[in-house]
């Protein structure tokens, strides 16, 4: 791996999906669409255009960083198919990035130091995918691993974590925020004390930054042939008629 690898970041786990190019510790380009259920039709074009805007040669890719879950089953499969196809045709390494870590990284620049950052994505049956991070000196530290929880249980977990760690403030971000905010108990004090940011999504730029950081830290890429998304819950899907990787070249 070169000292300054050319890395492509892809996020497909949510309704907001995109591609970004990272090199020389800088985001070179980023494209994003918020079009639910259009990942299969648009992702390949986003990848191609992001590479073009960055004036980067696809054959020179060193790594592809990808949101690996939790998230939309179909979106995760489309992202995995596209990333695996790129890695196989270019020889690039595949770098997995947890979806909730990418969401936290996208929100991190806006949260003050000392914040407990709770990230929540809406799931089915009223549940949420939830994790928590501490904002410390421009970086994130994991405070709670990703889980599929009921909204009430997630609200209690975040309140307990804030008290245990003495966090100065609590931010809840992501598509599941409304569910968790509604589940906060009491006279409303807890809800007013939490900063709620519902329209927040994992971004391809955040995925690229985290992927580059993992490579720099010496974390080994995953095997392309055996890689599978991390769903956190049982998968119920229907097969696609063809590969989304078709048409990239």
CATH number assigned to the domain comprising residue 123: 3.30.420.40
Would 112 be classed as within a structural domain? yes
Domain of 183 in residue numbering reads as 100-197
Confidence of residue 137 (pLDDT cuts 50, 70, 90): confident
Average pLDDT on 65-71 reads 97
- If one counts the domains in the chain, the total is 2
Evaluate whether 115 touches 98 at the Cβ level (below 8 Å). no
94 and 206 belong to one structural domain: yes
pLDDT (tens digit per residue) in 208-247: 999 999 999 999 999 999 999 999 876 554 444 454 444 4
Would 173 be classed as within a structural domain? yes
Would 53 be classed as within a structural domain? yes
Percentages helix, strand, coil for the chain, rounded to the nearest 5? 35, 30, 35
Q: Which two tokens stand for residue 80?
A: 């995995």
pLDDT number for residue 168: 82
134 and 75 belong to one structural domain: no
pLDDT number for residue 44: 95
Nearest CA among 127, 89, 106 for reference residue 231: 127
Task: Give residues with Cβ within 8 angstroms of 123, minimum separation 6.
Answer: 70, 129, 148, 176, 233
57 and 85 belong to one structural domain: yes
Average pLDDT on 37-62 reads 95
DSSP states of 89-124: HH--EEEEE-HHHHHHHHHGGGSPTTEEEEEEEE-G
170 and 145 belong to one structural domain: yes
24 and 12 belong to one structural domain: yes
> 80: which strand partners?
none
Confidence of residue 142 (pLDDT cuts 50, 70, 90): very high
0.85 exceeded by pTM: yes
Confidence of residue 138 (pLDDT cuts 50, 70, 90): confident
20 and 86 belong to one structural domain: yes
């Amino acid at each position: 791996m070169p000292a300054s690898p050319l890395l492509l970041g892809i996020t497909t786990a949510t309704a907001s999906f995109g591609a970004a190019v990272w090199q020389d510790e800088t985001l070179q380009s980023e494209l994003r669409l918020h079009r639910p259920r259009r990942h299969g039709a648009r992702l390949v074009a986003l990848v191609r255009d992001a590479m073009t805007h960055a004036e980067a040669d696809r054959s020179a890719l060193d790594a592809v960083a990808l949101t690996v879950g939790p998230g939309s089953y179909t979106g995760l499969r489309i992202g995995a198919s596209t990333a695996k196809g790129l890695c196989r045709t270019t020889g690039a390494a595949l770098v997995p990035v947890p979806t909730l870590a990418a969401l936290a990284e996208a929100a991190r620049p806006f949260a003050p130091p000392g914040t407990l950052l709770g990230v929540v994505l809406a799931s089915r049956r009223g549940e949420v995918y939830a994790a928590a991070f501490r904002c410390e000196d421009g970086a994130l530290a994991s405070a709670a691993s990703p889980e599929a929880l009921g909204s009430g249980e997630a609200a209690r977990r975040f309140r307990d974590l804030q008290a245990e760690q003495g966090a100065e403030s609590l931010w809840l971000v992501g598509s599941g925020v409304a569910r968790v905010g509604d589940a906060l108990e009491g006279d409303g004090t807890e809800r007013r004390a939490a900063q709620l940011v519902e329209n927040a999504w994992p971004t391809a730029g955040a995925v690229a930054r985290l992927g580059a950081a993992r490579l720099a830290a010496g974390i080994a890429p995953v095997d392309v042939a055996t890689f599978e998304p991390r769903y956190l819950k049982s998968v119920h899907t229907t097969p696609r008629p063809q590969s989304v990787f078709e048409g990239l070249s």
